[in-house]
A and B are shown apart, each in its own frame.
Chain A
Amino acid sequence: MNPGVRLPGFAPLMLLGALTVLALLIVLPLGVVFQQALSQGFARYLEPLAHPDSLAAIRLTLLVAAISVPLNAVFGVAAAWAIARFEFRGKSLLVTFIDLPFSMSPVVSGLVWVLLFGAQGWFGPWLMENNVKIIFATSGLVLATVLVTLPFVARELIPLMQDQGADEEAAALTLGAGGWTTFRRVTLPNIRWALLYGVLLCNARAMGEFGAVSVVSGSIRGQTTTLPLHVEVLYNDYEFVGAFAAASILAGLGLVTLVLKSFLEWRHSGELSASRRH
């Protein structure tokens, strides 16, 4: 029984309203990115992307994500194993701490590393003496990215593993399988799609992060500018076509993420945490 069937005239109005909201607020900004990037033709679009600084920015973005995402994936699996498979005191406090980065401003997530490792940071003088550079270097970008993306994988795995329960693992152990074998042959197959889902979201955020990395980067062209920071550098130099061309790559990444995410929700909805099944 669809209320729309009984209320002619009302449903189309609601539909129109909702689509207008989404078109104005969400689709239009996305469209503008590509329109601006291609506004002076395809050749002019490719030109800024082929610039060495742009290529360096793309390489750096991939490098930072390639380090941060696996680290947080391993953390997510370990945290989910500890939290969803064992009963201990202080569990909810632990979960709160895992969620904490989600409620921090990205700028604060960058700031905290400067407070520790910046020139006047707690460990700044020691780092300077030993000639180790963290702030304004790749390792600072990685630290900021790791902090911002820390909850993503854990958040997908904990509710799923809590739902699944430990029966299958307990059965495998009782039948004589070792701990690692049980994890590899029982747990991992059960959580693989949720793990992939978490990694997907984690990666999208890692590659697109702006606020946290902008604080620790120093935006040295061709050296510490990730692709989102490169967008800002070009934009502030009034190189609008270049800025939007670089932005279009990131928008493409966002679109691919959305497609894969929707595909996982559609094809493997039973194997994702309950909040993702729609």
Chain B
Amino acid sequence: MTAAALPSAPSRLRHRWKQPSILPGFPLAMGWTLTWLGLIVVLPLTALILRPWELGLGGVWATLTEPRVLAALRLSFGAAALAALTNLPLGLLVAWTLTRYEFPGRRIVDAFVDLPFALPTAVAGIALTALYAPTGPLGAPLAAAGIQVAYTPIGIYLALMFIGLPFVVRTVQPVLQDLDREVEEAAQTLGATHLQRFGLVILPAVLPALISGFSLAFARAVGEYGSVIFIAGNMPLKSEIAPLLIVIKLEQYDYAGAAAVGLAMLVISFGALLAVNGLQFFLARRGRA
């Protein structure tokens, strides 16, 4: 390993893509990793990237600007962003409670936070629908108050909140755990109010984690299918999510159209995540300056 780092062999270093090691098994492990990734991820993704263009550039554009497709993309991304945003204060509250207070059953409550990860999405979907349907235990009083949740975009938003909450809690929790309690105490001794301590000490420290939690919850929610379709009502232009539109296009044997919507989702997601990463980078730099 040290030999490769010697400056006397620059030409060899340039050509070597792997540093030497006494450990065996690299060709086998790497070969298997690349083969499996190639077959399971790269080959299928290549199909997703190439197939939309069978329609030609104009055809892809026409597909993506269909009012139904535009409405579905807007709904999927909008509801996902809104749900992830709502999860920030809720997730912070839950993470705060779990890290700062000792109460009986804390471990069990902590474990339950991960339930949306462990509960199959179709189960969550029919359960949320049963709860919030106009005849359901929560839906009935809400309907009486004039709010219909199930079979409207509000239902979609709710399902996406369910799916996203653990992402926010689990990214914020370790940061709160490691947060130096002395800084807060110092702020308090110096006469800071609750609000000042929260806004000036705690929030800046957990902000990067909150942003990561947001992007994880958002990324998951954009593509979410199982927990949403039962409660969504699936009315074209109103409560039809983008993944459902892919399924519908496939059922009509419009492979290229389905691939176009799938590719658009992937590209927009990447753009959004890049923007979030950029924001995080900006905050980190400002924090250091």
Interface residue from A108, A116, A174 paired with B246 (Cβ < 8 Å) = A108
> Of the 9-residue stretches A30-38, A47-55, A126-134, A188-196, which lies at the interface with chain B?
A30-38
Contact with A along B31-42 (1 / 0, CB 8 A): 011001100111
Q: Which residues of A contact B224 (CB under 8 A)?
A: 105-106, 211
Interface residue from A10, A107, A113, A257 paired with B44 (Cβ < 8 Å) = A113
> Of the 9-residue stretches B58-66, B123-131, B145-153, which lies at the interface with chain A?
B123-131
Residue of A nearest to B97 (CB): A18
Q: Which residues of A contact B79 (CB under 8 A)?
A: none
- B98 interface contact, C-beta 8 A: yes
Question: How many angstroms from the CA of A105 to the CA of B226 in the assembled complex?
Answer: 11
Q: Which residues of B contact A88 (CB under 8 A)?
A: 17-19, 30
Residue of B nearest to A200 (CB): B118
- A175 interface contact, C-beta 8 A: no
B247 and A29 form a contact (CB under 8 A) = no
Size bracket, chain B contacts: 35 or more
Question: How many angstroms from the CA of A87 to the CA of B4 in the assembled complex?
Answer: 11
Q: Which residues of B contact A66 (CB under 8 A)?
A: none
Q: For chains A and B in complex, what number of residue pairs have CB atoms within 8 angstroms?
A: 293
* Chain A: minimal CB distance from B260 (Å): 11
Size bracket, chain A contacts: 35 or more
Question: How many angstroms from the CA of A232 to the CA of B120 in the assembled complex?
Answer: 12
Q: Which residues of B contact A261 (CB under 8 A)?
A: 111, 114, 118
Q: Which residues of A contact B41 (CB under 8 A)?
A: 97, 100-101, 147, 150
Question: How many angstroms from the CA of A247 to the CA of B32 in the assembled complex?
Answer: 37
Q: Which residues of B contact A105 (CB under 8 A)?
A: 222-225, 242-243, 246, 262, 265
Q: Please judge, given known A-B contacts A87-B18, A106-B225, A113-B44, whether A75 and B118 are in contact too, CB under 8 Å.
A: no
Residue of A nearest to B4 (CB): A87
Give the A-binding residues of B (Cβ under 8 A): 1, 17-19, 21-26, 28-30, 32-33, 36-37, 40-45, 47-48, 51, 90, 93-94, 96-98, 100-103, 107, 109-124, 126-128, 130-131, 137-138, 161-162, 165, 173-174, 177, 181, 184-185, 194, 219, 222-226, 230, 242-244, 246-247, 250, 253, 255, 258-259, 262, 265-266, 269, 273
Beyond A86-B26, A244-B130, A254-B120, 13 extra complex contacts between A and B, CB < 8 Å: A26-B112, A36-B127, A97-B41, A107-B223, A108-B223, A111-B48, A115-B258, A121-B47, A146-B40, A179-B24, A214-B225, A214-B226, A261-B111
Could you pull out 12 A-B pairs where Cβ atoms are within 8 angstroms? A2-B101, A10-B194, A21-B90, A22-B94, A36-B130, A85-B26, A105-B223, A107-B225, A115-B255, A115-B259, A121-B255, A208-B123
